[in-house]
């Protein structure tokens, strides 16, 4: 097999990707499949039947589940073997998160523990710290938590006022302050705490929960995730040995941002698993529920919902596993020594910071969309807690808020892309320049498309990239350094980028299926992508025009709007019939129909 090409972060905006290079759920190895199945079995047998107990905040019980998860290896996929984990690839971690996404509040405990609770050590711990602590986290003997947020420092996380002062004998730091909204706080053994040394140098500390001067406040009363613990963590002259500084004094932001990248991707995966579960549960209910002497699954409006949910979940799934594949390919290029260096790993992962934000935004919004429709398909029963839709609806909402709100993540996408362009890592400017020339003589009527099932969609994704590049280019030229203050413009650019990556991820997956299994074998993949592109192209056109209408005026505006219109020229397909086919397939299987 030829070596896969390594794509740089954001490259998909300006170039095309070979479907053969993309990882899709259909590429699961036997091991990936078994890892997914073991996690699903664990969720089905150990967690779902105990949901009420978990929801009642029986934290002793949550710890017991956590230990069992540790025994099975479900906490150690990202922890290297020499520290008690398994050091598996990122696809394996995605598969665990995907399956775990159905686990209600335990999914929160699990995600916080394996993500923000463990990864700071994996990537930034020194040898001694990793040897001492990681085996306990990987086995589930310990529960980890991450203390970044403060009452006055949420999205602006670096503005925290928790301080760390070196003791006179130079042996300890004394930490003072109060952290807010800390997941797992009520039963955690180990906190990763951020504080400013001398009120200035933002630094990460490893703080065991039994450290003198560390306590937790009252449980928050939350909308959802009732079985997860969320408390303030109070530090009053907490005495932390100097050897517990994580990485370096003044380099806490490096830890925080890198860990957030990974947290975002993991969150995207678990949200997507949750969304697929919504589809399966909603279909099962719709098949069994009779009104007007018919199963409600036979009604067109319900089928439309089931199909739209399926398509969104499919696209989200395609994004999550594509990103896992990008990580794995990139990490594979590290040589033996670098592979062992946490920092080198973190750097490789940072390459895909934009994709991590997309994964988080897209996953959380897909889940929210799907839980909402699940409730709706259940009607009044969806509103009652006897059915799991009600809890899932409440549980889902937090995902748009934490790990960087979706607004913050949207601001990060254009910001990061531009930074990369200025650093010369991503040739956005060159591509935009080429495009301007190309647009002069461009006519969509002159384009001859090959006679393949997804030719139109491939063409439209390429056109949408041009629209994105053109409008972003116009905005950059106009506002230059001041673009950062034009948040509505940034938001539109982010949405353009998100949907371009989303469409393309689905397209590449379907193309890969098509290449492997032919048109019949890839039937539902093709249908899903056609439906999604059909729905998205008009949105792209609308957003681009909104952006331009703000930025430009007069003749320039008219020329640019005409260019967008030309690029977005697209004849709608019969999406209703395709959606019926997708819905009927889901009804036939009584499950989300596009996995394996």
Partner 1 sequence: MNIVVLCKQVPDTESKIKLLDDQSGFAEADIKWVLNPYDEFAVEEALKLREAGKAEKVIAVAAGPKRAEDALITALAMGADEAVLVEDDLFNWAEAYQVAQALAAALKEVDFQLIICGKQAVDDDSAAVPGMLAELTNIGQMTVVSKMELNDDTVTGWRDVEGGAQEVLEGKLPLIVTANRGLNEPRYASLPGIMKAKRKPFKRVGLADIGLSSLEPKTKVVGWSLPEPRAEGKMFEGNSDDLPQRVSEVVKLLVDEAKVL
Picked from ligand FAD, partner 1, none, the partner binding residue 30 (CB below 5 to 8 A depending on kind) is partner 1
* Bridge partner residues of 137 (DSSP): none
Nearest approach in angstroms of CB 157 to ligand FAD is 7
Interface map 59-98 toward partner 1 (x if CB under 8 A):
------------xxxx-xx--------x-x---x------
Sign of CA dihedral 272, 277, 278, 279: positive
Site string for ligand FAD, 204-243 (x = CB under 6 A): ------------------x--x----x-------------
User: Residue 264 in contact with residue 359, Cβ under 8 Å?
Assistant: yes
Q: Which of 111, 323, 398, 564 binds ligand FAD (CB under 6 A)?
A: 398
Query: In this complex, which beta carbon is closest to ligand FAD, that of residue 408 or of residue 557?
Result: 408
> Minimum Å distance from CB 77 to partner 1?
7
Alpha-carbon distance 104 to 65, whole Å? Answer: 13
- What part of residues 183-202 is at the interface with ligand FAD (CB under 6 A)? 183
User: Between 22 and 79, whose beta carbon lies closer to partner 1?
Assistant: 79
Give the interface segment with ligand FAD, choosing from 284-292, 294-302, 306-314, 396-404 (CB under 6 A): 396-404
Closer by beta carbon to partner 1, 350 or else 590 = 590
Which among 139, 124, 122 is positioned nearest to 75, based on CA atoms?
139
Please say whether the beta carbons of 41 and 99 come within 8 A: no
Instruction: Identify the DSSP state of 571.
Output: -
- Sequence-separated contacts (24+) of 77-82 with Cβ below 8 Å: 77/35, 77/114, 78/114, 78/118, 78/119, 78/122, 79/118, 79/122, 79/134, 79/137, 79/138, 80/122, 80/134, 80/340
Q: Is 41 in the site for partner 1 (CB under 8 A)?
A: yes
Choose one: 28-36, 262-270, 322-330, 416-424; the region binding partner 1 (CB under 8 A): 28-36
Q: Would you count residue 460 as binding ligand FAD (CB under 6 A)? A: no
Cite the beta strand spans of 76-171 per DSSP E: 144-147, 163-166
Please pick, from the candidates 408, 429, 439, 561, the single residue that binds ligand FAD as defined by CB under 6 A.
408
Stretch that binds partner 1, among 38-46, 205-213, 302-310, 373-381 (CB under 8 A): 38-46
| Cβ atoms 315, 358 nearer than 8 A | no
Q: Which does 369 bind (CB under 5 to 8 A by kind): partner 1, ligand FAD, none?
A: none
Instruction: Please report the sign of the dihedral spanned by the C-alpha atoms of residue 177, residue 182, residue 187, residue 189.
Output: negative
Binding residues among 476-535 for ligand FAD as defined by CB under 6 A:
487
106 SS3 class: helix
Q: What angle do CA 191, 197, 198 make, to 5 degrees?
A: 145
CA distance 22 to 18: 7
- Tell me which residue of 345, 357, 192 sits closest to 261, measured CA to CA: 357
Inter-residue contact 232 to 216 (CB < 8 Å): yes
Residue 296 interacts, among ligand FAD, partner 1, none and using kind-specific CB cut-offs from 5 to 8 Å, with none
Closer residue to partner 1, CB minimum distance, 83 or 532? 83
The reply on whether position 181 binds ligand FAD by CB under 6 A is: yes
Concerning whether 351 is annotated as a catalytic residue, the answer is: no
Residue pair 239/213 in contact (Cβ under 8 Å)? The answer is: yes
Number of residues that bind partner 1 (CB under 8 A): 22
CB atoms within 10 A of CB 153: 18
Task: Yes or no: say if 215 and 241 are a contact pair by the CB < 8 Å rule.
Answer: no
**224's torsion region: left (phi>0), alpha (psi -120 to 50) or beta?**
beta
Among 170-178, 181-189, 198-206, 538-546, the segment contacting ligand FAD (CB under 6 A)? 181-189
Choosing among ligand FAD, partner 1, none, which partner's interface includes residue 183 (Cβ < 5 to 8 Å by kind)?
A: ligand FAD
Is the CB of residue 54 less than 8 Å from the CB of residue 97? no
Contacting residues for 351 by C-beta, under 8 A, at least 6 apart = 8, 9, 330
Window 92-131: contact mask with partner 1 (x via CB under 8 A): x---------------------------------------
Does position 298 bind partner 1 by CB under 8 A? no
| Contacted by 82, from ligand FAD, partner 1, none: CB < 5 to 8 Å by type | none
Tell me the residue ranges of DSSP E strands in 209-246.
Answer: 214-216, 230-241, 245-246
Within a 10 A sphere around the Cβ of 112, how many other Cβ atoms?
Answer: 27
User: What is the nearest approach in angstroms of partner 1 to the Cβ of residue 34?
Assistant: 5
In the list ligand FAD, partner 1, none, the entry touching 277 (Cβ below 5 to 8 angstroms by class) is none
Which position among 281, 390, 403, 504 bears the catalytic label? 403
Q: Which does 348 bind (CB under 5 to 8 A by kind): partner 1, ligand FAD, none?
A: none
Binder among 96, 100, 148, 358 for ligand FAD (CB under 6 A): 148
- Checking phi first, is residue 225 left (phi over 0); if not, alpha (psi -120 to 50) or beta? left
Look at residues 130, 123, 199, 120 and name the one whose alpha carbon lies nearest to residue 159. Answer: 199
**Alpha helices per DSSP H over 379-486:** 388-396, 406-422, 428-440, 455-479
402 counts as binding ligand FAD under rule CB under 6 A: yes
Query: Which partner, ligand FAD, partner 1, none, binds residue 214 by CB below 5 to 8 Å per kind?
Result: none
**Contact partner, 502, from partner 1, ligand FAD, none, Cβ < 5-8 Å per class:** none
Give dist(CA 220, CA 234) in Å, integer: 14
Among residues 27, 141, 178, 407, the one that binds ligand FAD under rule CB under 6 A = 407
Binding mask 261-290 for partner 1 (x = CB under 8 A): -----------------------------x
401 in contact with ligand FAD (CB under 6 A): yes
Please list the active-site residues: 403
- Report the interface residues with partner 1, using CB under 8 A: 30-31, 34-35, 37-38, 41-42, 71-74, 76-77, 86, 88, 92, 290, 293, 588-590
Give me the residues that bind ligand FAD (CB under 6 A), please: 112, 146-149, 154-155, 181-183, 222, 225, 230, 398, 401-402, 405, 407-408, 411, 487
């Amino acid at each position: 097999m030829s070596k896969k090409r390594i794509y740089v972060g954001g490259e998909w905006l300006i170039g095309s990707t070979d479907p053969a290079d993309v990882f899709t759920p259909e590429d699961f190895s036997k091991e990936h499949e078994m890892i997914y199945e073991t996690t699903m079995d664990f969720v089905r047998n150990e967690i779902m039947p105990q949901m009420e107990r978990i929801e009642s905040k029986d934290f002793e019980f949550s710890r017991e589940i956590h230990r069992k998860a540790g025994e099975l290896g479900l906490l150690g996929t990202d922890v290297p073997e020499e520290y008690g984990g398994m050091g598996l690839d990122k696809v394996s971690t995605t598969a665990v998160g995907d399956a775990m996404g159905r686990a209600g509040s335990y999914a929160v405990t699990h995600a916080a523990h394996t993500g923000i609770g463990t990864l700071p050590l994996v990537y930034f711990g020194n040898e001694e710290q990793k040897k001492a602590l990681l085996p306990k986290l990987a086995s589930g003997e310990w529960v980890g938590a991450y203390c970044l947020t403060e009452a006055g420092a949420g999205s602006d996380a670096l503005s925290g006022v928790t301080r760390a002062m070196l003791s006179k004998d130079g042996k300890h730091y004394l930490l003072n302050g109060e952290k807010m909204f800390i997941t797992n706080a009520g039963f955690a053994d180990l906190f990763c705490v951020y504080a400013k040394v001398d009120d200035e140098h933002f630094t990460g500390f490893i703080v065991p929960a039994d450290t003198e001067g560390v306590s937790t406040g009252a449980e928050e009363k939350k909308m959802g995730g009732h079985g997860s613990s969320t408390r303030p963590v109070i530090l009053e002259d907490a005495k932390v040995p100097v050897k517990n500084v994580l990485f370096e004094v003044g380099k806490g932001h490096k830890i925080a941002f890198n860990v957030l990248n990974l947290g975002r991707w993991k969150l995207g995966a678990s949200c997507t698993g949750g969304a697929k579960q919504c589809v399966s549960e909603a279909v099962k209910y719709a098949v069994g529920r009779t009104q007007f002497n018919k199963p409600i699954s036979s009604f067109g409006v319900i089928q439309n919902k089931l199909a739209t949910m399926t398509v969104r979940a499919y696209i989200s799934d395609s994004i999550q596993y594509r990103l896992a594949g990008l990580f794995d390919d990139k990490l594979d290029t590290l040589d033996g020594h670098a592979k062992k260096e946490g920092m080198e790993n973190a750097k490789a992962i940072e390459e895909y910071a934009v994709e991590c934000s997309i994964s988080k935004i897209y996953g959380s919004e897909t889940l929210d969309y799907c839980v909402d429709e699940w409730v709706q398909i259940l009607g009044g029963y969806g509103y009652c807690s006897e059915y799991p839709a009600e809890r899932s609806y409440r549980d889902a909402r937090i995902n748009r808020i934490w790990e960087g709100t979706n607004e913050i993540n949207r601001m990060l996408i254009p910001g990061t892309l531009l930074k990369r362009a200025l650093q010369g890592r991503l040739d956005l400017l060159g591509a935009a320049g080429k495009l301007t020339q190309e647009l002069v003589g461009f006519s969509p009527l002159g384009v001859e498309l090959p006679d393949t099932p997804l030719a139109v969609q491939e063409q439209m994704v390429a056109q949408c990239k041009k629209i994105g590049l053109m409008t972003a280019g116009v905005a950059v030229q106009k506002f230059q350094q001041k673009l950062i203050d034009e948040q509505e413009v940034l938001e539109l650019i982010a949405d353009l980028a998100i949907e371009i990556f989303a469409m393309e991820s689905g397209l590449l997956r379907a193309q890969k299926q098509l290449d492997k299994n032919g048109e019949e074998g890839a039937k539902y993949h093709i249908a899903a992508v056609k439906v999604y592109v059909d729905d998205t192209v008009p949105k792209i056109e609308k957003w681009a025009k909104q952006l331009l209408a703000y930025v430009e005026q007069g003749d320039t505006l008219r020329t640019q709007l005409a260019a967008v219109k030309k690029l977005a020229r697209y004849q709608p397909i019969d999406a209703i019939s395709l959606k019926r086919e997708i819905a009927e397939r889901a009804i036939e299987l009584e499950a989300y129909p596009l996995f394996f």
